[in-house]
Structure 1
Amino acid sequence: MTRRDLLAYLPGLTLLLFLAPVAAGLIGTWLPAFGYFPALEGHAFTLAPWAVLLNHPGLGESLRLTLLSGLLATLVSFLLTIFFLAACHGSRMILAIRGLMAPLLAVPHAAMALGLAFLIAPSGWLVRLVSPWATGWDLPPDVATLQDPNGLALTLGLIMKELPFLLLMTLAALEHSRADERLAIARSLGYGPVMAWMKTVLPAIYRQIRLPIYAVLAYSLSVVDMALILAPLSPPPLAVQVLRWFNDPDLTMRFVAAAGAVLQLLVVVAAIGLWRLAEIIAARLGRIWIAGGRRGGKGRVLHLLIATAIQLLVALAAAGLLAMAIWSVTRRWRYPDALPSALTTDVWARQGHDLIWTTGTTLISGLAAAFIALALVLGCLENEQRRGLSTSTRALWLLYAPLLVPQVAFLFGSQVLSIQIGIDGTWIALVWSHLLFVLPYVFLSLADPYRALDERYSRTALCLGANPNRVFWRVKLPMLLRPILFATAVGFAVSVTQYLPTLFAGGGRFVTLTTEAVSLSAGGDRRVMGVFAFLQAALPLAAFAAALALPKHLARRRVLREQRA
């Protein structure tokens, strides 16, 4: 069999590697949800697990928290993205914010949540900065700013984390929309800048950002690690409650947990269906609105409000990271002092042994998943170009499948599959579980730059006698070094954030910085939390910094060699 034949089989192998566990996991969750789980003496189908689930006293409140935080976070993130781009299109602020979004996207969800918790807690940094001189609070106020009953802290954390993703996805869609031409025509007809963007650009790009929006909605409705830190825990959101049932010492609760996982999936499907219905209604009303001919004004007030909101969110995220760093080197920080009275590195030293092993596990699993995903994506993209194929909408839906299906809805079934084939609690299971979520992001990061590479370079090399494999290694990869490194950094960052996959696939044998940071969030020592959370955030940021610095370093060395020659 030739190399070309092997390359042709690679897309199918890739789909099998990251879709088979999802499909098997869904089956392995649905069967116990209806009573069939022979390993726990469940040999007949029954609705008993659903009866227990629906009679659970806190289920209604869990569903309310889930829907309120998930839908609100997605809607606000979407509106902020659209109005920011509409009000600031073509300005320098777009470039500045775009440069900040990638680092924020790299910060793991748990680290972002812990940073926010350090800020908005009743004894957090924001209260300390204004106490007691402005508030008169000599003691922390008795206000539920964290784990509030309406999940507003979780909603804010989700907005801070999902806004960068939506913004970057929308900016990528704008590059292929001829936005400047559309705006020029609309402005020549007298439309204001915001109105022109909303009426001409948004309808052209929405189809391209629909799947990212659905992914944000699915994640926001089923998030676990951020909910464990920011959401109320009695009762908690549905995904957290399902995880509790899975971890219950009473093994019969696995049936109820499976039913809860299926309910979580149905909630996400219903929410996506509701969003799709809203899209249809908005499209019909939008046609009437566009035909109405309202030109709009300069949009200066909207520009000021939206730009201020985005800057505040960025500042809040940066302040959270800074608060983690300060707490990690704090010896004594009494309320209401604005800054610690003494600093030390003793906490880092005491946690040194645990940090080494935990960081090592995080690095190995993250790098392995990122490099495997990179190899698969490069092979699929190269096969696509050699065979003259194009990515269809169906293929994109398959690519987004692990991001659209709630993790808790299939990871239990995937764990059962891992046990049956004998890899549960092994490195293979851990890396494979991370690969399910790493691969889509690596593909999304690398696909456009790979396809945008001028084909004339390859044709020239082929005309000079190079074979396709040599062109791939000696022409394409060196020219695509920067996007390849960036995609690898994205994949590594996604792997670092994985919480539930590590718990289920690792079988409790592997501890990463994310799982340790989340478990420590239930404790009271902010210094130890700060150490693990800061290091968890620092690793992806270091990967992105290396991805930016390495091409410059190699280019500088190339110039020096040429000058010496």
Structure 2
Amino acid sequence: MSGLSRQPVVWRILLLPLAHAPAFTLFLLLAPIAAGLIGTLLPAFGWLPVVGATEFSLAPWRALLAEPGLWHSLGLTLWTGFATTALSLLLTLSLLATCYHSPWLHRIRRSLAPLLAIPHAALAFGLAFLIAPSGWLVRWLSPWATGWERPPDFAGFGPQDPWGISLILALTLKEAPYLLFMGLIGLAQLPIAAWSAMARSLGYGPIGTFLKIILPSLYPLLRLPVFAALTFALTVVDIALIIGPSTPPTLAVQALRWFNDPELTRRLPAAAAVLLLLLLALISVATWESAMRLLAYWSRPWLIGGRRGGGGDFAKWAALGGGHLVLALATLSVSVMLVWSFARRWAFPLMWPEQWTLENWYGQIDNLLLMTWNTITVGVAATGLALLLSVACLEHEVHRRVTFAGRSVWLLYLPLLVPQIGFLFGIQVLLVWGHLDGGWLALVWTHLLFVLPYVFLSLADPWRTFDPRYKQTALALGTSRARAFWRVKLPMLCGPVAVAVAVGFAVSVAQYLPTLFAGAGRYATITTEAVTLASGANRRIIGVYAVAQAALPLLGFLAALWVARKRQS
């Protein structure tokens, strides 16, 4: 008699959904992406019956290529995307190389949670308030150090500078912590202690050990996160709307403007622009990977040359300085938003407001409560579904002794590797066709596409490394498998589950384009309202919504940390 036939009937019934969980999860991820890409591809070649376009043609592409500023937008997109990814990866590897063997690594790990929790739009708002010509940094130095009694006119510097420097800085504040978090996960999968001891016995210093021994094994684990970071930097919309160049903007922002044009036929060249952006992202990822392979090939003689040294004191302090700068900018960005949200009068060049008030919050309370409710309900629903699917897939791994890895991980990363605007427009077309646009379920589903990968990746390692002997002991004492799961395994993994939920909720709160396309304007969230306010000049109201947007995921992470510590005590 097989092991399954000896199971209780109830447990055998429960195992049936588990067997289909991976296929069902991949279907939920891949089906809308495939349908969305088709819904974008057809209008890009002239077929969109809703606007009267019923013949395939290259007219959308001719209209796109005739747009003024297109090539400038393309160059700006490539420059900001590659510069952000390279800077974030360099900072990540520098911190890991100098701190992997020291107590600094634990401190970095602790500081990552609040950085990851803050939505990127909120950070972009705070950074814009910080580095603007009338921003907080200039106020600190004026007039005692600069002599400025009025905001200076910085040509080409500050928010929305034509070179995209402020956009690169804002993206780095989010990409570097993300890559560092994934790097820490990668380090945990490698025998770092044994490799370090072996390298020390051969005379290698800490930096040389990392570069010659650890990094060649670590980077393959970082490859997909780096691709996701590069794709995000090339195709981001909300941060580019807030702090990026505007004349012309990046290609993703320009495509969104064409989508929102009152002239509906503009959606055809907009779809062509989105398809061009998708091709640009694919070519960029291939170019990045080719460059990394060439770098690995050229560095092979140095790797096997046997040259000792690599203590790296200067590199250590330079890397720590860069890490502290990122943390300081993020902290100041959140702080200046909070100050502006309570400011009544704040004339330049005063460092602090002359008058404080609660009217900024009172005046927005009704609208704020409604949007907070929309944000929380959609976030909780999407995160709950993502958690349910992730646990089902991981439990299926346990029973079948298979791992969702290798090529399957590419499928899991697909919503992060494909530009959002590349398939969300197509999804919107299909939702309109099926009379499902603007529905709450459609909104939750689109959020689920981006929440699920993060929840699964956050939960996978703790779930896979859980000691099965605890559950076997419970079974030996006569309990059922279902009871052993609910009473033994799940409570012991309560901390990692809480962290995964906090990560998923933070991802949902930050979603702008999915809410914009699937919600059809009927479900406004704090994020969509904050980005909409970016075109205005009222820093006080922007500060209110940006602080509210940052507070929700921070509260989620604080709750997760409280649950984790309570389980440990």
- Equivalent in the alignment of 1:112: 123
Q: 1:262 aligns with which of 275, 288, 301?
A: 275
Which deviations, in whole Å up to 9, do the C-alpha atoms of 1:131-163 show, x marking residues without a partner?
Answer: 011011111111131111110000001111111
| Residue 173 of structure 2 is aligned to residue 160 of structure 1 | yes
- Equivalent in the alignment of 2:45: 34
Matching of residues 511-526 of structure 1 within 5 Å: 511-526=524-539
- Equivalent in the alignment of 2:195: 182
Q: Which runs of 5+ in 2 are unaligned?
A: 1-11
- Equivalent in the alignment of 2:104: 93
Question: Take 2:245 and 2:403, find their aligned partners in 1: how far apart are those partners?
Answer: 46
- Equivalent in the alignment of 1:561: none
Q: Secondary structure of the residue that 1:177 maps to in structure 2?
A: coil
Compute the displacement of 1:318 (Å).
0.2
User: Is residue 130–residue 336 contact of structure 2 (8 Å, CA) maintained in 1?
Assistant: yes
Number of residue pairs aligned between Structure 1 and Structure 2? 556
Q: Give 2:39's aligned amino acid.
A: G
Q: Secondary structure of the residue that 1:331 maps to in structure 2?
A: strand
Runs of 4+ in 1 over 4 A off after TM superposition: 553-556
Question: Take 1:209 and 1:198, find their aligned partners in 2: how far apart are those partners?
Answer: 15
Q: 1:14 aligns with which of 5, 19, 25?
A: 25
- Equivalent in the alignment of 2:347: 334
| Residue 220 of structure 2 is aligned to residue 222 of structure 1 | no
Question: Take 1:350 and 1:149, find their aligned partners in 2: how far apart are those partners?
Answer: 35
Q: Give the % identical residues.
A: 52
Question: Take 1:39 and 1:273, find their aligned partners in 2: how far apart are those partners?
Answer: 36
- Equivalent in the alignment of 2:430: 417
Question: Take 2:568 and 2:66, find their aligned partners in 1: how far apart are those partners?
Answer: 65
Question: Take 2:417 and 2:454, find their aligned partners in 1: how far apart are those partners?
Answer: 13
Matching of residues 472-483 of structure 1 within 5 Å: 472-483=485-496
Q: Secondary structure of the residue that 1:248 maps to in structure 2?
A: coil
User: Is residue 18–residue 392 contact of structure 2 (8 Å, CA) maintained in 1?
Assistant: yes
The range that moved more, 241-250 or 179-188, is 179-188
Question: Take 1:554 and 1:212, find their aligned partners in 2: how far apart are those partners?
Answer: 30
Which deviations, in whole Å up to 9, do the C-alpha atoms of 1:218-257 show, x marking residues without a partner?
Answer: 0000000000011111110000000001001111111101
Compute the displacement of 1:361 (Å).
0.5
Question: Take 2:136 and 2:558, find their aligned partners in 1: how far apart are those partners?
Answer: 28
Question: Take 2:240 and 2:28, find their aligned partners in 1: how far apart are those partners?
Answer: 29
Question: Take 1:23 and 1:467, find their aligned partners in 2: how far apart are those partners?
Answer: 41
Question: Take 1:554 and 1:97, find their aligned partners in 2: how far apart are those partners?
Answer: 23
Question: Take 2:218 and 2:193, find their aligned partners in 1: how far apart are those partners?
Answer: 13
- Equivalent in the alignment of 2:398: 385
Compute the displacement of 1:554 (Å).
6.2
Q: 2:375 aligns with which of 341, 362, 365?
A: 362
Compute the displacement of 1:555 (Å).
6.5
Structure 1 residues 554 and 459: CA distance shift in structure 2, 3 A? closer
| Residue 78 of structure 2 is aligned to residue 67 of structure 1 | yes
Compute the displacement of 1:550 (Å).
2.8
User: Is residue 101–residue 206 contact of structure 2 (8 Å, CA) maintained in 1?
Assistant: no
Structure 1 residues 295 and 554: CA distance shift in structure 2, 3 A? closer
Question: Take 1:374 and 1:510, find their aligned partners in 2: how far apart are those partners?
Answer: 23
Compute the displacement of 1:553 (Å).
4.3
Q: Secondary structure of the residue that 2:401 maps to in structure 1?
A: coil
TM-score by length of 1: 0.97
Compute the displacement of 1:294 (Å).
2.2
- Equivalent in the alignment of 1:302: 315
Q: 2:66 aligns with which of 48, 55, 60?
A: 55
Q: Give 1:21's aligned amino acid.
A: P
User: Is residue 51–residue 264 contact of structure 2 (8 Å, CA) maintained in 1?
Assistant: yes
Compute the displacement of 1:420 (Å).
2.6
Matching of residues 112-511 of structure 1 within 5 Å: 112-143=123-154, 144-511=157-524
Question: Take 1:251 and 1:419, find their aligned partners in 2: how far apart are those partners?
Answer: 14
Question: Take 1:315 and 1:77, find their aligned partners in 2: how far apart are those partners?
Answer: 16
User: Is residue 126–residue 333 contact of structure 2 (8 Å, CA) maintained in 1?
Assistant: yes
Q: Give 2:376's aligned amino acid.
A: L
Compute the displacement of 1:386 (Å).
0.9
The range that moved more, 290-299 or 59-68, is 290-299
Which deviations, in whole Å up to 9, do the C-alpha atoms of 1:498-547 show, x marking residues without a partner?
Answer: 00000000001111111111111111111100000001001000000011
Which deviations, in whole Å up to 9, do the C-alpha atoms of 1:312-336 show, x marking residues without a partner?
Answer: 1100100010001111111111000
Which deviations, in whole Å up to 9, do the C-alpha atoms of 1:194-218 show, x marking residues without a partner?
Answer: 0111100000111111000000000
Question: Take 1:446 and 1:510, find their aligned partners in 2: how far apart are those partners?
Answer: 30
Question: Take 2:411 and 2:132, find their aligned partners in 1: how far apart are those partners?
Answer: 40
Structure 1 residues 174 and 551: CA distance shift in structure 2, 3 A? closer
Compute the displacement of 1:16 (Å).
1.1
Question: Take 2:490 and 2:469, find their aligned partners in 1: how far apart are those partners?
Answer: 15
Question: Take 1:553 and 1:134, find their aligned partners in 2: how far apart are those partners?
Answer: 49
Q: Give 1:125's aligned amino acid.
A: W
Q: 2:560 aligns with which of 547, 550, 562?
A: 547
Q: Give 1:71's aligned amino acid.
A: F
Question: Take 2:476 and 2:69, find their aligned partners in 1: how far apart are those partners?
Answer: 69
TM-score by length of 2: 0.96
Question: Take 1:432 and 1:207, find their aligned partners in 2: how far apart are those partners?
Answer: 31
Q: Secondary structure of the residue that 2:299 maps to in structure 1?
A: helix
Question: Take 1:275 and 1:463, find their aligned partners in 2: how far apart are those partners?
Answer: 53
The range that moved more, 183-192 or 75-84, is 183-192
The range that moved more, 124-133 or 463-472, is 463-472
User: Is residue 126–residue 336 contact of structure 2 (8 Å, CA) maintained in 1?
Assistant: yes
Question: Take 2:285 and 2:468, find their aligned partners in 1: how far apart are those partners?
Answer: 39
User: Is residue 162–residue 247 contact of structure 2 (8 Å, CA) maintained in 1?
Assistant: no
User: Is residue 437–residue 520 contact of structure 2 (8 Å, CA) maintained in 1?
Assistant: yes
Compute the displacement of 1:422 (Å).
2.6
Q: Give 1:108's aligned amino acid.
A: P
Q: Secondary structure of the residue that 1:296 maps to in structure 2?
A: coil
Q: Secondary structure of the residue that 2:344 maps to in structure 1?
A: strand
Question: Take 1:297 and 1:498, find their aligned partners in 2: how far apart are those partners?
Answer: 43
CA RMSD of aligned residues (A): 1.2
Q: Secondary structure of the residue that 2:304 maps to in structure 1?
A: helix
Question: Take 1:15 and 1:528, find their aligned partners in 2: how far apart are those partners?
Answer: 41
